[in-house]
Chain A
Amino acid sequence: MLIPCPHCGTRPVEEFTFLGDATPTRPATPDDPKWYSYVYERDNPRGRFDEFVHHSGGCRAWLVVSRDTKTHAVFSALTAADFKRKQKP
Chain B
Amino acid sequence: MTGFRIEKGGLINRDTKLNFTFDGKAFTGHNGDTLASALIANGVHLMGRSFKYHRPRGVISAGSSEPNALVELRENGRKEANTRATMVELYDGLMAKSQNRWPSLQHDILAINSLASSIFVAGFYYKTFMWPKSFWEKIYEPLIRKAAGLGTASREADPDTYEKSYAHCDVLVIGSGPAGLMAALTAGRAGVRVILADEGSALGGSLLFENEEIAGQSGYDWAQGILAELASLPNVTLMPRSTIFGWFDGNIFGALERVNDHVAVPAPFEPRQRYWRIHANRAVLAAGAEERPLVFGGNDVPGVMLASAMRHYANRFAAAAGKSIVVFTNNSSAARTVTDMQKHGVNVSAVIDTRKGERILAVKGGKQVVAVNGTPCDAVAMSGGWSPIVNLMCHRGAKPIWNEGIAGFTPPDVGPEFTAIGSAAGHMLLSECLAGGVRAGTVKGRTEAAPQCRDEAFAIQPFWWVKESVGKAFIDYQNDATAKDLPLATREGYGHVELAKRYTTTGMATDQGKLGNVNAIAILAEASGKTIAEMGTTTFRPFYTPVSFGAFTGPFTGHHFQPVRKTPLHDWCVEQGAVFVESGLWMRSAWFPQAGEDWLAAATREVKATRSGVGLCDVSTLGKIDIQGKDAGLFLDHLYCNTFSTLSIGKARYGIMLREDGIAFDDGTTSRLAEDHFVMTTTTANAARVMSHIEFCHQVHWPELDVQYVSVTEQWAQMAIAGPKARATLQKLVDNLQLSDETMPYLAARDVTILGDVTARLFRISFSGEHAYELAVPADYGNAVARSIMQAGAEFNIAPYGVEALSIMRIEKGHVAGGELNGTTTAGDLGLGKMMSTKKDYIGRAMSMRAGLADPARQCVVGIKPVDRSMKIRSGGHLLKQGDAPSLQADQGYICSVAWSPMLDMWLGLALLSNGRARIGEIVKVFDGLRGHHYLAEICDPVHFDPKNERLHA
A–B interface present (Cβ within 8 A): yes
The answer to whether A30 touches B692 (Cβ under 8 A) is no
Asked if residues A54 and B703 are in contact (CB atoms below 8 Å), the reply is no
Stretch from B316-324, B693-701, B769-777, B851-859 at the A interface: B693-701
Q: Is the CB of B250 within 8 A of A12?
A: yes
Q: Which residues of A contact B692 (CB under 8 A)?
A: 17, 54, 56
Are A19 and B847 within 8 A (Cβ)? no
Give the residue of B695, B701, B846 whose beta carbon is less than 8 angstroms from that of A31. Answer: B846
* Contact A62:B700 (CB < 8 A) given known A29-B841, A71-B397: yes
Interface string of B828-853 (1 = CB under 8 A from A): 00000000000001000111010000
- The reply on B779 being an interface residue by CB < 8 A is no
B696 close to A26 (CB less than 8 A): no
Quick one: CB contact mask for A39-78 with B, threshold 8 Å, 1 for yes? Answer: 1100000000000101010001110000000011010000
B855 to chain A: closest CB distance in Å? 17
Interface string of B695-717 (1 = CB under 8 A from A): 11001110100000000000000
On whether A2 and B847 interact (CB within 8 A), knowing A52-B700, A62-B695, A80-B699, the answer reads no
Contacts of B703 in A (CB 8 A): 80-81, 84
Residues of A within 8 A of B156 (CB): none
Would you list which residues of chain B between 688 and 746 have a CB under 8 Å from chain A? 692, 695-696, 699-701, 703
Chain B residues 243 to 275 lying within 8 A of chain A, measured CB to CB, are 248-250, 252
- Do residues A62 and B696 form an inter-chain contact, with CB atoms below 8 A? yes
Q: Which of A26, A29, A72 lies at the interface centre, i.e. has the most chain B CB atoms within 10 A of its CB?
A: A26
Q: Say yes or no: B699 contacts A19, CB within 8 Å.
A: no
Expressed in whole angstroms, the Cα–Cα distance for A36 and B661 within the complex equals 9
Residue in contact with B846 in the complex, picked from A35, A72, A74, A80, CB distance below 8 Å? A35
The answer on a CB contact under 8 Å between A39 and B661 is yes
Whether B675 is near chain A, meaning CB under 8 Å from some CB there, is: no
| Cα distance, A2 to B700, chains bound together (Å) | 23
A30 close to B845 (CB less than 8 A): yes
* Chain A proximity of B854: nearest CB distance (Å): 13
Contacts of B849 in A (CB 8 A): 30
B432 near A: Cβ within 8 Å? no
In the complex, the answer to whether B249 meets A1 with C-beta atoms within 8 Å is yes
| Nearest-CB residue, chain A, relative to B398 | A71
Q: Are B701 and A26 in contact (CB-based, < 8 A)?
A: yes
CB 8 Å contact bits of B667-705 with A (1 = contact, 0 = none)? 000000000000000000000000010011001110100
Bound-complex Cα distance A13 to B252 (A): 11
B249 touches A62 (CB 8 A): no
Chain B residues, Cβ within 8 Å of A84: 700, 703
Looking at the assembled complex, report how far the CB atom of B303 sits from the nearest CB atom of chain A, in whole angstroms. 47
Residues on the A chain within 8 Å of B250, using CB: 1-2, 12-13, 74
Tell whether, in the assembled complex, residue A54 and residue B695 are in contact, meaning their CB atoms are under 8 Å apart: yes
Tell me if A27 counts as interface (CB < 8 A to partner B): yes
Chain A residues near B845 (CB-CB < 8 A): 30
Contact of A39 among B252, B660, B695, B701 (CB under 8 A): B660
**Chain A: CB-nearest residue to B249:** A1
Supposing A30-B845, A30-B849, A39-B847 touch, asked if A54 and B661 sit within 8 A by C-beta, the answer is no
- The answer on a CB contact under 8 Å between A32 and B846 is yes
Interface string of B218-259 (1 = CB under 8 A from A): 000000000000000000000000000000111010000000
B contact residues around A39 at 8 Å (CB): 660-661, 847
- In the bound assembly, the distance between CA atoms of A55 and B810 in angstroms comes to 36
- Is A79 interfacial (CB-CB < 8 Å)? yes
Give A18 Cβ to nearest chain B Cβ, in Å: 12
The reply to whether B846 and A27 form a contact with Cβ atoms under 8 Å apart is yes
**Partner of A2 from B249, B661, B699 at Cβ < 8 Å:** B249
Whole-angstrom distance between the Cβ of A79 and the nearest chain B Cβ? 7
Question: From A10, which residue of chain B is reached at the shortest CB distance?
Answer: B250
A54 partner, pick from B248, B252, B696, beta carbons under 8 A? B696
By a CB distance below 8 angstroms, the chain B residues around A30 are: 841, 845-846, 849
Alpha-carbon distance A2/B847, docked complex (angstroms) = 35
Residues of B within 8 A of A17 (CB): 692
- Cβ contacts B421-444/A at 8 Å (1 or 0 each): 000000000000000000000000
Find residues 390-414 in chain B having any chain A CB closer than 8 Å to their own CB.
396-397
Interchain CB contact under 8 A, B695 and A72? no
Complex contacts, B701 vs chain A, CB 8 Å = 26
A74 to B841, CA, bound (A): 35
User: Which residues from B are CB-within-8-Å of A19?
Assistant: 696
Least CB distance from A39 to B in Å reads 5
Interchain CA distance A22-B617 in the complex, whole Å: 43
Q: Given contacts A2-B250, A2-B252, A80-B700, is CB(A60)–CB(B695) below 8 Å?
A: yes
CB distance from B661 to the nearest CB of A (A): 6
Q: Across the interface, which residues of B come within 8 angstroms of A27, CB to CB?
A: 846
Q: Are B699 and A72 in contact (CB under 8 A)?
A: no
A52 to B700, CA, bound (A): 9
Min CB distance, A60 to chain B, in Å?
A: 6
Q: Are B699 and A79 in contact (CB-based, < 8 A)?
A: yes
* Bound complex: CA A54 to CA B700 (Å): 11
Rounded to whole Å, the gap between the CB of B714 and the closest CB of chain A is: 15
If A30-B841, A35-B847, A81-B703 touch, does A72 touch B249 (CB 8 Å cutoff)? yes
User: Which B residues are CB-close (under 8 A) to A1?
Assistant: 248-250, 252
Nearest opposing residue in chain A for B710, CB measure: A60
Q: Tell which of B249, B692, B847 has the most Cβ of chain A within 10 Å.
A: B249
A12 to B279, CA, bound (A): 10
Query: Closest residue to A28 on the B side, CB-wise?
Result: B841
Residues of B within 8 A of A28 (CB): 841
Which residue on A lies nearest to B415, using beta carbons? A73
Q: Chain A residues near B279 (CB, 8 Å)?
A: 2
> How far in angstroms is the closest Cβ of chain A from B662?
9
| B143 CB, min distance to chain A CBs, angstroms | 44
Known: A27-B846, A32-B846. A62 touches B699 (CB 8 A): yes
Verify B846–A81 contact, CB threshold 8 A: no
Contacts of B841 in A (CB 8 A): 28-30
Residue of A nearest to B702 (CB): A26
- Distance A54 CA – B696 CA, assembled complex (angstroms): 8
With A and B bound together, what is the CA distance between A58 and B216 in angstroms? Answer: 55
Query: Which B residue sits closest to A62, measured CB to CB?
Result: B699
Q: In whole Å, how far is A81's beta carbon from the nearest beta carbon of chain B? A: 5
CA distance A31 to B847 in the complex (A): 9
Q: How far is the CA of A35 from the CA of B850 in the complex (A)?
A: 11
Of chain A, the residue at the smallest CB distance from B662 is A39
Cβ contacts under 8 Å, B847 to chain A: 35, 39
Least CB distance from B712 to A in Å reads 14
Chain B residues near A61: list those with CB within 8 A.
695, 699
Which residue on chain A has the smallest CB distance to residue B696? A62
Which of A12, A17, A52, A61 gathers the greatest number of chain B CB atoms within 10 Å?
A: A12
Kindly name the residue among A1, A31, A35, A74 whose own CB sees the greatest number of chain B CB atoms within 10 A.
A35
Whose C-beta in chain B lies nearest to the C-beta of A83? B700
Type the 1/0 row for A1-17, where 1 means its CB is closer than 8 Å to any CB of B.
11000000000110001
Q: Which residues of B contact A13 (CB under 8 A)?
A: 249-250
Residues in chain B near residue A79, CB distance under 8 A: 699
How many Å from the CB of B845 to the closest CB on chain A? 5
- A13 and B847 alpha carbons, distance in the complex (Å): 32
The winner among B661, B699, B847 for most chain A CB atoms within 10 A is: B699
Q: A32 to nearest B CB, angstroms? A: 7
Q: Which residue of A has the minimal Cβ distance to B700?
A: A80
Contact between B699 and A81 (Cβ–Cβ < 8 Å)?
Answer: yes
Interfacial chain B residues near A54, Cβ < 8 Å:
692, 695-696
Nearest first, the 6 A-B pairs at minimum CB distance are: A2-B250, A1-B249, A30-B846, A35-B846, A62-B699, A72-B249
Question: Would you give 16 A-B contacts (Cβ < 8 Å), ordered by A?
Answer: A1-B248, A12-B250, A19-B696, A35-B847, A39-B661, A52-B700, A56-B692, A61-B695, A62-B696, A62-B699, A71-B396, A72-B396, A80-B699, A80-B703, A81-B703, A84-B700
**Residues in B lying within 8 Å of A, measured CB to CB:** 248-250, 252, 279, 396-397, 660-661, 692, 695-696, 699-701, 703, 841, 845-847, 849
Known: A13-B250, A84-B703. 11 other contacts (CB 8 A): A1-B252, A2-B250, A13-B249, A28-B841, A39-B847, A60-B695, A62-B695, A62-B696, A62-B699, A72-B249, A72-B396
